[in-house]
Chain A
Amino acid sequence: MTATMTADAFTRLSRRQLAWCAAQAIPDGSYVNLGIGVPTLCANVMPADREIVLHSENGVLGFGPAPAAGQEDRDLINASKEYITMRPGGAFFMHTDAFVMIRGGHIDLALLGAFEVSGAGDLANWTTGDRRFPPGVGGAMDLAVGAKAIWVLTEHTTKNGEPKIVDACKYPLTAAGVVRKIFTDLAEIDVTSDGLLVRAMVPGLTLEALQAMSQPRLRLADDCRTISAPAA
């Protein structure tokens, strides 16, 4: 028996590299909520030359990276239940006020995970409808209607290789038409009124190969960049 292995000409970003790419795109001075999953990793790879204030819906503003081993404080965690540290200027408040900030339009940007994102910016990230896998909406719907902008951070395809960027979400929606930018382990894509625009891709990836892993039609930006993320 002969098998032909076709090696991909590109390498997917690690979760940390994906978080790094999104973190580098956050404007200086922003107040930013980091959702559960890959987004919370952004706190560890924020650009050092900018002041960006991170918000966590359990009641924390102005947190920093994960603590060094042995420095964990069981009273100090983010919404992903991971240990964090505080930066000077940070604050604690009750949960209700964390959502006053979210719903009241005070958060500039929210970075969220996704099961699916559609070409129109619809987001599905709270339930698969499978009773063996209970739903979990958390603050996703509040952020989707309240944050001034929503970026999604996700693997480009599911574990089975199915596209997560789809024509229409098959899972129940978190919110319709809210996603502005999608960072995946392969590309950075803007959601525009003219459809999806590829702003950057990992080295060696072609638009044709990326299109084959995405349902909606993709367009290549004139100034499409090659992603160069630090190793690890």
Chain B
Amino acid sequence: MAIDKIVPTLEAAVAGIRDGMTIMISGFGFAGVPNDLITAVLDLGVGDLTVISNNAGTGTEGLAALIGSGRVRRIICSYPRSRGSDRFDARYAAGEIELELVPQGTLSERMRAAGAGIGAFYCPTGVGTELAAGKEVRTIDGRDYVLEMPLRADVALVQAQKADRWGNLTYAKSARNFAPVMAMAADLTIVQAREIVPLEAMDPETIVTPSIFVDRVVHVDNDREWDI
């Protein structure tokens, strides 16, 4: 039977996302953020979410809207403070959102570990700082490392440039950022792709995310500038 991961609507793409889930959201700054999928999650009305994303949303749409609406209980990120991150800043100042601040490289390596089946890893980043407080430290060849745990999610929402019906993906420039590693680290990876192409149009040498990491693809040809 033909494999076809393409779903017809954003609503179908986010079907099954429930209260209390952990959701990874790709993007760095405004590049590569799956704003249409985030908006579809907002429309679902689910709450008590844990979000894993590099930033905590800016402006009034996308992740900022999800946080502003009180749907996010906890965020795991490296750099929440940005120009325009008022929605997050207000909830954080009021103690209405939990923040787990993770050094940026550790954030993506923890995702990679989850996707790769690694139980935990020793990392030199943050040794001796507040962000390593309470973590096991081990000296290897004279250098100190902290033990870091894998970071897995129920769902990953990612944006891609091109996708085929199997879910092979390519990206656009710096919009790639977290998408490939998040796609590996979630039970359900949902992609919004700007273009859908036939299987034979994808060059196996240039596929960045192989289809095995992808579950659903929705075509979103929406090039408007979001307020993010």
Contact: A134 with B131, CB < 8 Å? no
Contact: B30 with A77, CB < 8 Å? yes
Contact: A58 with B28, CB < 8 Å? yes
Bound state CA distance, A92 and B175, in angstroms? 9
Q: Which residue of A lies closest to B223 (CB)?
A: A74
**Inter-chain contact count A-B, CB under 8 Å?**
148
Interface centre among B88, B101, B109, B174 (most CB of A within 10 A): B174
Asked if B225 is at the interface of the complex by the 8 Å CB criterion, the answer is yes
Contact: A134 with B181, CB < 8 Å? no
> Which residues in B have their C-beta under 8 angstroms from that of A67?
none
> Which residues in A have their C-beta under 8 angstroms from that of B99?
134-135
Bound state CA distance, A212 and B123, in angstroms? 40
> A134 and B176 in contact (CB under 8 A), knowing A77-B30, A95-B28?
no
Contact: B131 with A141, CB < 8 Å? yes
> Which residues in A have their C-beta under 8 angstroms from that of B181?
94-96
Q: Which residue of A lies closest to B130 (CB)?
A: A172
Bound state CA distance, A135 and B104, in angstroms? 13
Contact of A135 among B28, B81, B82, B109 (CB under 8 A): B81
Contact of B125 among A73, A95, A135, A146 (CB under 8 A): A146
Contact of B108 among A99, A133, A175 (CB under 8 A): A99
Taking the nearest CB of chain B, how far is it from the CB of A143, in angstroms?
A: 9
Bound state CA distance, A91 and B56, in angstroms? 27
Residues of chain A in range 64-88 having any CB-CB distance to chain B below 8 Å? 73-79, 81, 86
Contact: B81 with A145, CB < 8 Å? no
Contact of A141 among B80, B95, B126 (CB under 8 A): B126
> Which residues in B have their C-beta under 8 angstroms from that of A76?
31, 173-174
Residues of chain B in range 55-81 having any CB-CB distance to chain A below 8 Å? 56, 78-81
Residues of chain A in range 156-177 having any CB-CB distance to chain B below 8 Å? 172-176
Taking the nearest CB of chain A, how far is it from the CB of B169, in angstroms?
A: 11
Contact: B93 with A146, CB < 8 Å? no
> A132 and B93 in contact (CB under 8 A), knowing A58-B28, A74-B31?
yes
Q: Which residue of A lies closest to B126 (CB)?
A: A141
Bound state CA distance, A175 and B125, in angstroms? 9
Contact: A96 with B111, CB < 8 Å? yes
> Which residues in B have their C-beta under 8 angstroms from that of A134?
56, 80-81, 85, 88-89, 92-93, 99
Contact: B81 with A136, CB < 8 Å? yes
Contact: A81 with B29, CB < 8 Å? yes
Taking the nearest CB of chain A, how far is it from the CB of B127, in angstroms?
A: 7
Bound state CA distance, A81 and B126, in angstroms? 24
Bound state CA distance, A139 and B29, in angstroms? 14
Asked if A57 is at the interface of the complex by the 8 Å CB criterion, the answer is yes
Contact of B180 among A94, A135, A145 (CB under 8 A): A94
> A136 and B79 in contact (CB under 8 A), knowing A94-B181, A95-B181, A99-B109?
yes
> Which residues in A have their C-beta under 8 angstroms from that of B92?
131, 134
Bound state CA distance, A57 and B125, in angstroms? 15
Contact: A57 with B29, CB < 8 Å? no
Contact: B81 with A58, CB < 8 Å? no
Q: Which residue of A lies closest to B110 (CB)?
A: A96
> Which residues in B have their C-beta under 8 angstroms from that of A141?
103, 106, 125-126, 129, 131
10 additional A-B pairs beyond A75-B31, A141-B103, beta carbons within 8 Å, are A81-B83, A93-B176, A95-B178, A134-B89, A134-B92, A135-B81, A136-B101, A141-B106, A145-B124, A175-B129
Which chain B residues have a beta carbon within 8 Å of chain A's beta carbons? 28-32, 54, 56, 78-83, 85, 88-89, 92-93, 95, 99, 101-106, 108-109, 111-112, 123-131, 171-181, 208, 225
Which chain A residues have a beta carbon within 8 Å of chain B's beta carbons? 56-60, 73-79, 81, 86, 92-96, 98-99, 102-103, 127, 131-142, 145-146, 172-176
Which A-B residue pairs are the 3 nearest by beta carbons?
Answer: A99-B105, A81-B29, A142-B105
CB pairs A–B below 8 angstroms (29 shown): A56-B174, A57-B104, A58-B29, A59-B28, A73-B173, A75-B172, A75-B173, A75-B174, A76-B174, A77-B174, A94-B181, A95-B28, A96-B109, A98-B105, A99-B105, A99-B108, A131-B93, A134-B81, A134-B88, A135-B81, A136-B80, A136-B81, A137-B101, A138-B78, A139-B104, A141-B126, A142-B104, A175-B129, A176-B128
